[in-house]
């Protein structure tokens, strides 16, 4: 990723359900113009409740993709919704 | 720079994997992805200018507003693409300057100019539908920033298609004199748009590689067939005649037959010898010079921020 300054990530709060999603980025001299530009570039036709911008330099991501964490959670079967059914079936088929 | 194991990368792509901008990728993949997006970016800008000059000549306020919206969309499309290009190190200035310096070439359709009011809707209809056919294919790309940009672009491009279809139909319904003028427009634009998809893929190493990497999805010939399948019935339903007496559906081959564009002539056009090649080059150069003060002002502000 380039280290250019003055890049703002653009987020939109959708109309329904009100949820914040990332839509892209703009290059602008300041926050106010970044919002204006984001409006022109990304919301000429599409509706959104409101939009926000964050200077890319201030956006902190976790170190590694969270995929590894998801896989670990899947391995802890008691945290998954299918756990109870599986456990019950196992108990039922167990010879008494 | 992360060293990428090419074999592992290709296996991942072959398995349906996708690549985002911060993921490791071979330099050549990055270069090709950037080149493809930069090329489309330039096309959006010049394509926008081609229609922008019709805004003042448009004879109704509503049509003026609709056309203005279309031109704004084209510039928006260029912007979605160039933000990703810039993140990969290709600046917006470079995209324009490479064209002005003759280092990059425009698509063949942008070497012509729309000359009459009756011509523009049919030019737009054929161009927009061709672009949509191409984007529908390219949106399956392995490069996620491009896929995301194309998704937005396609939604708006479909507005343009319907706008063009509506105006073409309106003009055709105004009587034989109007339909004749639209037909003249079709006669002018049919062949350039048929050639827009590029020459038959000769199986070049370049094409093979980009298809293996899913930076290109369908062959040029397949895209041309998709376009014909979609547009021949639409154009005929408007009471217009397709200016190619060899055009017919081949039942056995399950494909359209058509007169092959003269590829040597098309190449000549792309190299800057089309009827409006010089006009567009001058127009872009003039606009780029005239807007220089805005860029300087913005850059100074960014530096100060």
Nearest alpha carbon to residue B100 among B267, B278, B265, B274: B278
Residues of A in contact with B155 (CB under 8 A): 45
Residue A79: pLDDT band with limits 50, 70, 90 = confident
Could you tell me which chain A residue has the CA closest to the CA of B149?
A24
Q: Average the pLDDT over B230-242 and give the result.
A: 97
**Å from B6 to nearest chain A CA?**
21
B256 domain-assigned: yes
Residue B12 has pLDDT above 70, yes or no: yes
What ipTM describes this predicted complex?
0.87
Residue B275 CA to chain centroid, in angstroms?
19
Q: Measured between alpha carbons, how far is B239 from B234 in angstroms, rounded to an integer?
A: 9
What per-residue confidence (pLDDT) applies to B171?
Answer: 96
Residues of B in contact with A42 (CB under 8 A): 76, 152
Nearest by CB to A29, which of B80, B155, B302?
B302
Q: Is B89 left (phi over 0), alpha (psi -120 to 50) or beta?
A: left
Asked whether B64 and B55 are in contact (CB, 8 A), the reply is: yes
Residue B55 has pLDDT above 90, yes or no: yes
B41 domain-assigned: yes
Nearest alpha carbon to residue B241 among B179, B304, B198: B179
**Å from A82 to nearest chain B CA?**
28
Contact call for A30 and B301, based on CB within 8 A: yes
**Å from B251 to nearest chain A CA?**
42
| A57 contacts chain B (CB < 8 A) | no
Contact call for B73 and A29, based on CB within 8 A: no
What per-residue confidence (pLDDT) applies to A80?
Answer: 80
B45 domain-assigned: yes
* Range of weakest confidence among A72-76, B189-193, B280-284: A72-76
Nearest alpha carbon to residue A48 among A73, A14, A17, A78: A14
B237 domain-assigned: yes
Provide the percentage of residues in chain A whose pLDDT is more than 70.
92
Q: Measured between alpha carbons, how far is B1 from B5 in angstroms, rounded to an integer?
A: 13
Q: pTM for this structure?
A: 0.91
Contact call for A4 and B86, based on CB within 8 A: yes
Pairing of strands A20-27, A50-55: unpaired
Q: Measured between alpha carbons, how far is B131 from B139 in angstroms, rounded to an integer?
A: 12
What per-residue confidence (pLDDT) applies to B274?
Answer: 97
B1 domain-assigned: no
Contact call for A29 and B301, based on CB within 8 A: yes
Q: Measured between alpha carbons, how far is B281 from B106 in angstroms, rounded to an integer?
A: 10
Q: Which domain holds residue B176?
A: 6-304
**Which domain CATH number covers B14?**
1.20.1260.10
B266 domain-assigned: yes
Q: Read out DSSP for B3-51?
A: ---HHHHHHHHHTT--B-TTS---HHHHHHHHHHHHHHHHHHHHHHHHH
Block residue for tokens 């003060």: B293
Residue B125 has pLDDT above 70, yes or no: yes
3-state helix, strand, coil in chain A (%, to 5): 40, 20, 40
Say how many domains are in chain B: 1
Residue B279: pLDDT band with limits 50, 70, 90 = very high
B300 domain-assigned: yes
């Amino acid at each position: 990723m380039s280290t250019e300054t003055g890049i703002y990530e653009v987020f939109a709060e959708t109309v329904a359900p009100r949820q914040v999603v990332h839509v892209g980025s703009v290059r602008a001299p300041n926050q106010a113009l970044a919002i204006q530009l984001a409006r022109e570039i990304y919301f000429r036709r599409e509706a959104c409740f409101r939009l926000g911008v964050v200077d890319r330099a201030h956006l902190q991501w976790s170190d590694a993709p969270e995929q590894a964490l998801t896989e670990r959670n899947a391995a802890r079967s008691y945290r998954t919704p299918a756990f109870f059914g599986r456990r019950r079936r196992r108990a039922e088929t167990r010879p008494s | 720079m992360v060293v990428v194991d090419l074999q592992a990368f290709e296996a991942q792509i072959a398995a349906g994997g996708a690549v985002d901008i911060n993921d490791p990728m071979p330099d050549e993949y990055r270069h090709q992805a950037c080149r493809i997006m930069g090329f489309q970016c330039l096309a959006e800008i010049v394509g926008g200018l081609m229609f922008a000059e019709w805004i003042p000549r448009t004879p109704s306020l509503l049509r003026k507003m609709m056309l203005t919206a279309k031109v704004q969309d084209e510039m928006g499309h260029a912007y979605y693409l160039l933000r990703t290009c810039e993140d990969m190190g290709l600046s917006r200035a470079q995209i324009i300057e490479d064209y002005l310096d003759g280092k990059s070439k425009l698509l063949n359709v942008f070497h012509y100019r729309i000359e009459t009011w009756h011509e523009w809707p049919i030019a737009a209809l054929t161009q927009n539908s061709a672009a949509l056919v191409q984007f529908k294919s390219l949106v399956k790309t392995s490069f996620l920033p491009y896929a995301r940009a194309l998704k937005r672009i396609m939604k708006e491009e479909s507005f343009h298609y319907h706008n063009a279809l509506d105006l073409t139909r309106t003009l055709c319904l105004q009587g034989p004199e109007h339909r004749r003028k639209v037909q003249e427009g079709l006669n002018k634009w049919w062949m350039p748009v048929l050639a827009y998809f590029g020459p038959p893929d000769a199986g070049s190493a370049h094409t093979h590689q980009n298809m293996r990497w899913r930076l290109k999805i369908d062959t040029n010939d397949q895209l041309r067939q998709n376009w014909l399948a979609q547009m021949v019935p639409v154009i005929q339903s408007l009471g217009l005649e397709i200016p190619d007496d060899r055009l017919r559906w081949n039942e056995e081959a399950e494909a359209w037959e058509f007169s092959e564009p003269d590829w040597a002539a098309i190449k000549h056009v792309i190299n800057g010898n089309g009827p409006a090649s010089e006009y567009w080059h001058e127009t872009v150069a003039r606009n780029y010079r005239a807007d220089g003060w805005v860029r300087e002002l913005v850059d100074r502000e960014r530096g100060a921020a």
